[in-house]
Structure 1
């Protein structure tokens, strides 16, 4: 019997990257929506239901596996890993949905997982290593691959297989490499064991290879027309594969016995149930179950709907080959039988080009979509073993080969540019040029679902979304989470100890905004690597060796990075007991003051993260003032500036402004930072800055300082003359002809806050304020958010 659709499990909101099906009544799935889901059914005649949704990561979750039941976990464990580098272990059936264990060690994206029946876990990562974990603790590391480890299999508790973007598969006994299997022409993406034979591997070269453990190739299975991402082996010994050609294929005795087309761009993951059913996870966010058992098939109506959804897909021409419409046959060509399972034939049906695929099971051609011209590249590109949406060629020197610049559409262009400069030993002065190049060349069709909120292109931080429908209850988390950075869209919520509200008409719903905005996003691993690289450069030259870090300084810096790695990955795992100490901060400030200005930007950026993730260490007036003076001096902030500034100084000033914005925070216990002797100095310095000398990103950070100051004014007794300084600066921004949309909006919200909390104490000309507000509204009239906040400011002014 052929495989047909048995169940459609819809619950994820983004690509399903991993599936596991340890029993006929349990399916586990992992998704780019940051969750893992357990799907259960009491018996084979009942439908699957979404049982529990687990918070499996803070970014894309890419891999999942299962550990069988034990005394501590009667229903077994769900193990998931992803871009935040953490492997989280959940007890299935527990009342708690928080991880029972979190395994830390990988430095980059965790993209592969497997486990033995006794609980030994093996993980593969973009950091070029695989790691083995026993008893939920590190056992040993497998080093030998030269690129990302995309595939792992645990043969038993001491033998393992790993597949890599370096095109090889390796066999390991404990931590020792036993054998290397070579043959694939591109990245190895998945592995699966075949009892009594060996194993099977698949690759971006579109081939599937069956191997013996001795290294002999038994079969090369060809049929997929694009990357092959995933493999499973059925209880019968048949092989199941899935890939970017939208298909799941079943292989028997070296031949494709069935092709199952999916209504999605990519089939990312497949697994085999003990009863022989197949589970797939796709780019459309849906998990599907296919069965050979007629009694488990979906209803005739569901099968018809599924076939229609497949037939209605638009296929890019690059996916099925070059298309010359005039050379294609008409519909009568479908009267001739296909030569093999999965053969694709294109026909001309009027002005439409249709793709049909031959099915041996039904002895007929089945329409799988209509062919359209491709716009851009639908498939991910690999660079040094990692997936990217774009890999640009950048010419930096005439006559020299271009350098490769990898970039993901959801990535922070600023971080991508820093990574590119560091990898190619290019000066920091090129930073803005590289960012502009990325923004220009990455524009075009969006990959994946449209974002539901604005994301700052440099930090990943979201803009203020203060419409009534988006404001959560007090203490509730924001509903929008950026899948890459984990940054939430900003929604106003009451402070822990808010002052008595002013008596305003009921229509006020946006102002006041009470929670400061922080620049918290970071690639801590890349920052750490950059620090080590720059320190090595200083150490290698006799004229700068005295500037390099002493061993004690380096140890302290790594302790700071360890804290930030945890804080940025899972903020909830950073209790007060594990906060940084002033010694950690002072260590950073000493290095920042000593390093050359052109190499200082990573240290200033580190100060930004310290202020964001360990505000308690800056809570005293002495600590905050010392910190403020240090970053102002390191960035050479003191205006006036002679423009144009050197590129390195532009960068340092931008990062300084973001660090200052992060110094304004309201802790969960109501403790307020951002009030102290340094704030008056800060506003004095800001008043001497010529706004036209700031670029848009600098101005957004500048305005965020003022907005955050207004939030602090809502929660603390700020002296009237400080509020007046802040208000004057905000009015300057509203009158600045060069201010961008985001800076103007943040300034408007800050204006509304100040008027709300201290209207009677402030000196201002209502007519001037009205004129400025009206001018902004006229400039930004296409955005509803401006109309809403301006309407509320007018109510406050009335």
Structure 2
């Protein structure tokens, strides 16, 4: 008989990350809602009801196990582990608020638990260890994995298996490593014992492998289209797997015999009952039971409702792959049967694209959702009389369904704030709601390219920068994009002195200076920072990545965390005039490695840390040839430099570009000897940017680069080709800038330095270049004349 839905267990309010079903009448579940629940079958029914809700702590519960009955607890115990790195053990016979036993020893999230037949507990953690506990005390540690231990399996009282994000599985005899199994191409997520044969493993590489204990692979099971998170084995020996592709698959004799699609993004956990029923835990917070026995199937009405839930799922096209609607067949294609369980077809049904999967048991195509494109199938949706690109349904803890409207050119935080205010919800959920919007609108350009943008550390909106007029010096007043608070004003020179807070722009501009301005030898560096705020944001993002199973492999390793801490301590010491160790090449390498693998939406604080590294650690780059080139190559890639520059540029990318430009500007300072090869790479990157696509903060950063380059050229003259590139780029800025006199001022100061160096050190500029400079100065808007008059006259005198 095929497996069909038997029961739906609803009480959790967030993802169910682990399930266990030790008897036909008991189900245990653990959830991100900070609870674990024991569910008891109702007498004479296939239905279950929550018996006890356990609250081990205030953070996610990610693992659950069952301890058999003892004299003290006739129903046994529930064992939980999670983010608090504590194992809590509660009696099922006499449940209390506080655990009966607490096991301490792990230092990071506990993500795996198992129990041997004799009652030994095995735990796996992000701290890269597994631990064996007997009689509620630590018996020994299993150390050897290089990354998080994602799965543990008790073979008997002496032997255990552990699986890790380092792609390996290890067999232990007590605390002694006996064998290491290699072959998976990504993190190994689940383990299951195959009686009289060996064991099975599943991985983020979407493969399931069946092994002998000697290390031979008996066979591999392919069919899942994404990460496979969990495995269990039925009493008849069939394997059950669940994963990120919304499916549970049943494998018989090496072939997929049935696919159970879920109306959720992830099937985090699977378990099997002694009677052969299958229990699943999903990202929608629901525990479901499926049975192969008709007498335990849900009612026909409930089965139809469940099928409709599955069929009505919206599948983003980026999750399915590239599709061209005109090439798809119509519904008639469903008359042709599939070849095996799990085969799929996409067909046109009017204006919709439907996704169907072949059910080999019922010998029919099962609709599992409508494929939607990036922006609401290219049609606006109405909400309260207004049109939006998206209108999301948001399920609340109290079972209300609220509407979240959003347009693709909005800032996610603005939409989140509007949603929370209109529904009288706490504002501390703003990060969560904004993250939901960003996750479900991937690939959409967010933002209009205007000067208003989100502070990357607080998520608050900052208004356009204001620049006081009438100053011959490059005083720059702007809203600090990293704190969202006061505007900063630099001192009345281009020396980059430490800024002072100024909440009001000057009402009376200073009189034009008559003193000699050129040469300006002191570079202007972007050193403003709140180290605690930057550190908190980076580690907040790291924790978020670590807590999501699909992104946990991207989180920092302990040695990388140490490198970041070293950099933070050093920068703080420079600002406080105290002593600390200079970051090493290895520390900078750690920043490169994290930046290379983190998602684009979380990169900005690391890019900003790179800005500080270039400002405060210039000597570290001199220690290894090619380090600076590799560092900036990574920064440009992180800011998506090779993506189209057509406005509107997404706000996240816009911010990243601005910070990278500031990092480049910080390289050019006293004592730094720059090689021509790296400078050529920088010019090549800068020349990619269409000036008209840049916002004010980016244009000012570009002008600062040109100025700082010129200040370095006063000490060591540019090679002719590099000087020509500097001149061409400077003239582009002069001709293109029409809003910000500060950008024009810094660019003109840079040209003055180049002219001064040409006159004092040579070689002289060509007459055509001198004429181009004259034309560039004449292109400056008349409204800037008072601001730059003294400098412009001095530059012209050098021609």
> Structure 2 length as normaliser, TM-score?
0.50
Flag the structure with larger Rg: 2
> Structure 1 length as normaliser, TM-score?
0.50
